[in-house]
C-alpha cells in the first residue's frame, strides 16, 4: 500500500514543507492503478522501473540532506546507499543502469516504507533547518519533478513493450483542429541568455551572458502529425540526402519509418500508442517521440531548420505561451489553439540545434552535487519547453533539458525556424 503524506497545516508549516508534501504525493499518485509487476519492468537500459524512481528520489533526500544534516538520523537500510545511487561516482560504486529491473528486492511495500521513513524525518528537520538544508530540499524537489516526468516516460515504454498492452477504457475522441502555422519575426542583436537570478534554477542555466543573434523567424506552433505525415509519404525515411550521417546510419540500422509508438493500420493509416492504449494518429496533435535526427531531417525537407536554444529562449521570454502539462493528467500532447505564438511550454519538448555545453564562466558546484549536470556536457543536444508530462511549476524559459540525438522515448517534438 502506497503511503501518502498528510497535508501539513498551513498555519504551522512553512511553504517549503507544503510543497514537499504535495510533490511527494504527486509521485505516488502517478503510480495509482499499477501493479507491483508493472512497477518493476525495465524495458530498455535507458529507462528505469517505476519502483526504482520511487526509491531513488527518496535516496536523494536521505543521502544529501538527512545523513549530513539530520541530527541522529538513522538510515532506513544502509544498503540502499549503494543500491539506489544513480551516477554519483564520488559516493562510491552503484549498480549498472541496465540492471535496475533485476531488483525484485526490496519489495514495493518496502520502498513505500522507505519513502515514509525519509519523509517523516525530513519534515521534522525542516522546522529548524539552516539555509543550506533549505537549498538542498529545493533541489531535491526539482529532482523529484524530473523523475515524475521520467517515470511517466519510462512507464509508457514499458507498457508499450508488453504484448498485452492496455486497451482504452473509453472511446478516445478526436482533438480539435490546430491553429494555422505562421512565422514569428524576431529581431537580431545582442540578447541576454540564462537564468536571471530570481527563483530556483539548475546550475547549467547559469551564468547569464550575452549572445549575438541574427534576425530570424520561428514557427508559431509545433509541427503536427499531419505535417509530419507528408514527410513520411514523400519518402522522408528513404532519402539519405535529408539525413545527417549518424542519423541515416541509425535509421538504416533500426529500421525506422515513423515516430516511436506509431504502427500501420490495415487501412493504410496509422495507430499510435498512448498511456491509455492504442488510438488513431490525429492529424492536429503535435508530432511526438521523434529523435533529433528525425527532427533535423524533417526541417531540412521543409526548407527550414531547428532553432538554436538561444533563439528559442529569446522567443519564449518575449512571447510565452502554454500547452498541456502533467497536472492536466492527459499524458499526451494536444493541438495548438488560438492565435499568435502557441505551445512554447508544455505538450512536447522541442529539439534545438544547440549542443549541450557549458555557458561561458560555468563552474560546477563543489562536492557530490557538482555531478548533477556538468558531467553530461558531451554528445547531447539541448531540448526546451517541457512536455505534457512536465510539472507546470518545474519549467521556465531558461530550463535546459538534454538527450543524445538518437533518443525518442521522451516526449520530444519539433518547431521550425528560418
What was the pLDDT predicted at 198?
85
What was the pLDDT predicted at 194?
97
Label the pairing between strands 270-274 and 277-280.
Answer: antiparallel
Does the pLDDT of residue 20 top 60, yes or no?
A: yes
Decide: 126 and 12 in contact? Cβ < 8 Å.
Answer: no
Q: Edge to edge, what strands does the sheet with 277-280 contain?
A: 262-264, 270-274, 277-280
Decide: 382 and 400 in contact? Cβ < 8 Å.
Answer: yes
Does the pLDDT of residue 401 top 90, yes or no?
A: yes
Which residues on adjacent β-strands are paired with residue 191?
Answer: 211
C-alpha grid cell, residue 388: 505534457
- The 8-class DSSP code of residue 404 comes to -
User: How far from the centroid of its chain's Cα atoms is residue 60's Cα?
Assistant: 18
What was the pLDDT predicted at 8?
38
Does the pLDDT of residue 398 top 50, yes or no?
A: yes
Mean pLDDT of 302-331: 96
Is the model more confident about 78 or about 375? Answer: 78
**pLDDT digits 0-9 by tens, 344-383:** 999 999 999 999 999 999 998 877 787 788 889 999 999 9
Decide: 277 and 166 in contact? Cβ < 8 Å.
Answer: yes
Strand boundaries in 222-348, DSSP class E = 262-264, 270-274, 277-280
C-alpha grid cell, residue 233: 509519404
Please tell me the chain's helix, strand, coil percentages from 3-state DSSP, rounded to the nearest 5. 40, 10, 50
Least trusted range by pLDDT, from 82-91, 129-138, 139-148, 201-210: 82-91
Label the pairing between strands 349-355 and 412-413.
Answer: parallel
Residues 6 or more apart from 163 whose CB is under 8 A from it? none
Nearest to 342 by CA among 385, 302, 392: 385
The torsion defined by the Cα of 390, 391, 394 and 400, in degrees rounded to 10, comes to 0
Which residues on adjacent β-strands are paired with residue 286?
Answer: 224
Task: Tell me the three state secondary structure of residue 238.
Answer: helix
Mean pLDDT of 68-96: 90
**pLDDT digits 0-9 by tens, 199-234:** 999 999 999 999 999 999 999 999 999 999 999 999
Residue given cell 503536427 in the structure block = 224
Q: In the chain, what percentage of residues exceed pLDDT 90?
A: 81
Mean pLDDT of 118-133: 93
- The 8-class DSSP code of residue 44 comes to S
When the pLDDT of each residue in the chain is averaged and rounded to a whole number, the result is 92
Dihedral sign for Cα atoms in the order 19, 67, 206, 218: negative
- The 8-class DSSP code of residue 305 comes to B
- H or E stretch including 254? helix 245-254
- Where does the pLDDT of residue 12 fall: very low under 50, low under 70, confident under 90, or very high at 90 and above? very low
Amino acid at each position: 500500500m502506497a503511503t501518502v503524506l498528510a497535508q501539513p497545516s498551513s498555519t504551522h508549516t512553512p511553504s517549503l514543507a507544503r510543497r514537499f508534501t504535495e510533490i511527494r504525493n504527486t509521485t505516488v499518485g502517478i503510480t495509482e492503478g499499477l501493479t507491483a509487476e508493472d512497477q518493476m519492468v525495465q524495458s530498455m537500459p535507458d529507462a528505469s522501473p517505476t519502483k526504482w524512481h520511487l526509491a531513488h528520489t527518496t535516496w536523494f533526500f536521505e543521502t544529501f540532506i538527512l545523513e549530513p544534516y539530520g541530527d541522529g538520523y538513522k538510515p532506513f537500510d544502509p544498503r540502499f546507499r549503494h543500491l539506489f545511487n544513480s551516477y554519483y561516482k564520488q559516493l562510491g560504486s552503484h549498480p549498472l543502469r541496465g540492471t535496475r529491473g533485476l531488483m525484485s528486492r526490496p519489495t514495493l511495500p518496502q520502498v513505500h516504507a522507505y519513502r515514509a521513513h525519509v519523509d517523516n524525518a525530513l519534515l521534522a528537520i525542516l522546522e529548524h533547518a539552516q539555509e543550506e538544508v533549505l537549498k538542498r530540499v529545493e533541489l531535491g524537489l526539482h529532482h523529484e519533478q524530473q523523475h515524475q516526468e521520467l517515470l511517466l516516460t519510462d512507464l509508457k515504454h514499458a507498457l508499450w513493450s508488453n504484448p498485452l498492452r492496455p486497451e482504452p477504457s473509453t472511446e478516445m475522441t478526436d482533438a480539435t483542429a490546430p491553429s494555422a502555422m505562421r512565422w514569428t519575426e524576431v529581431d537580431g542583436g545582442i540578447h541576454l541568455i540564462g537564468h536571471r537570478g530570481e527563483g530556483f534554477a539548475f546550475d547549467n542555466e547559469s551564468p547569464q551572458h550575452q549572445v549575438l543573434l541574427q534576425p530570424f523567424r520561428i514557427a508559431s506552433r509545433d509541427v503536427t502529425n499531419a505535417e509530419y505525415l507528408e514527410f513520411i509519404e514523400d519518402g522522408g525515411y528513404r532519402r539519405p540526402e535529408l539525413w545527417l550521417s549518424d542519423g541515416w546510419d541509425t535509421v538504416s540500422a533500426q529500421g525506422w519509418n515513423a515516430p516511436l509508438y506509431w504502427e500501420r493500420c490495415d487501412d493504410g493509416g496509422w495507430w499510435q500508442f498512448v498511456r491509455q492504449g492504442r488510438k488513431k494518429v490525429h492529424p492536429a496533435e503535435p508530432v511526438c517521440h521523434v529523435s533529433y535526427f528525425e527532427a533535423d531531417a524533417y526541417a531540412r525537407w521543409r526548407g527550414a531548420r531547428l532553432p538554436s536554444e538561444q533563439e528559442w529562449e529569446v522567443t519564449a521570454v518575449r512571447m510565452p505561451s502554454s500547452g498541456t502539462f502533467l497536472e492536466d493528467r492527459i499524458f499526451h500532447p494536444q493541438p495548438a489553439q488560438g492565435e499568435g505564438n502557441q505551445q512554447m511550454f508544455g505538450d512536447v519538448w522541442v529539439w534545438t540545434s544547440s549542443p549541450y555545453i557549458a555557458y561561458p564562466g560555468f563552474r560546477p558546484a563543489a562536492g557530490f552535487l557538482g555531478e548533477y549536470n556538468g558531467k553530461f556536457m558531451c554528445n547531447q543536444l539541448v531540448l526546451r519547453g517541457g512536455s505534457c508530462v512536465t510539472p507546470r511549476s518545474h519549467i521556465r524559459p531558461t530550463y535546459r533539458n538534454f538527450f543524445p540525438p538518437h533518443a525518442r522515448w521522451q516526449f520530444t517534438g519539433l518547431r521550425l525556424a528560418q
